[in-house]
């Protein structure tokens, strides 16, 4: 099922974000690293919370929060790239973030369709 794939990818992504934050802190960048650390790890946390949601509306809500966090993380990645804090790794992280967003949108739409 795509949900387990989503959980695995979001966990792997969070690990990558934590490693990125470590590198950014070594470069003495603290403003964006704190922001991306929170949003990038929040994606998987909200996906996990959705697993024990109180009904479909709560499930959708948790996935929508994860989607918002993924979108924010994409913004921080782009900003880090444009300010030369990251270069080649940007492509991999951005691709992973986009993949997670696509899966979240698909999951949200599927659940909404099943409510009709």
What phi and psi values does residue 71 have, to the nearest 5 degrees? -65, -45
pLDDT in tens, 8-17: 999 999 999 9
Whole-number average pLDDT of the chain: 94
Q: Which has the closest alpha carbon to 50: 102, 7, 106, 112?
A: 7
Query: Three-state SS for 55?
Result: coil
pLDDT interval class at 114 (50, 70, 90): confident
Strands (E), the chain: none
- Which CATH architecture is the domain 2-115 placed in? Up-down Bundle (1.20)
Looking at per-residue pLDDT, the higher value among 1 and 79 belongs to: 79
Measured between alpha carbons, how far is 51 from 37 in angstroms, rounded to an integer?
Answer: 22
């Amino acid at each position: 099922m795509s949900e387990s794939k989503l959980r695995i990818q979001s966990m792997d992504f969070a690990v990558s974000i934590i490693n990125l934050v470590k590198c950014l802190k070594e470069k003495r960048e603290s403003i964006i690293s704190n922001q991306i650390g929170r949003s990038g790890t929040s994606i998987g946390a909200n996906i996990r919370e959705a697993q024990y949601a109180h009904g479909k509306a709560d499930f959708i809500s948790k996935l929508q929060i994860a989607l918002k966090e993924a979108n924010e993380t994409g913004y921080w990645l782009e900003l880090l790239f444009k300010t030369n804090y990251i270069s080649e790794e940007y492509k991999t992280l951005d691709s992973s973030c986009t993949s997670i967003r696509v899966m979240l949108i698909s999951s949200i739409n599927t659940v909404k369709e099943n409510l009709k």
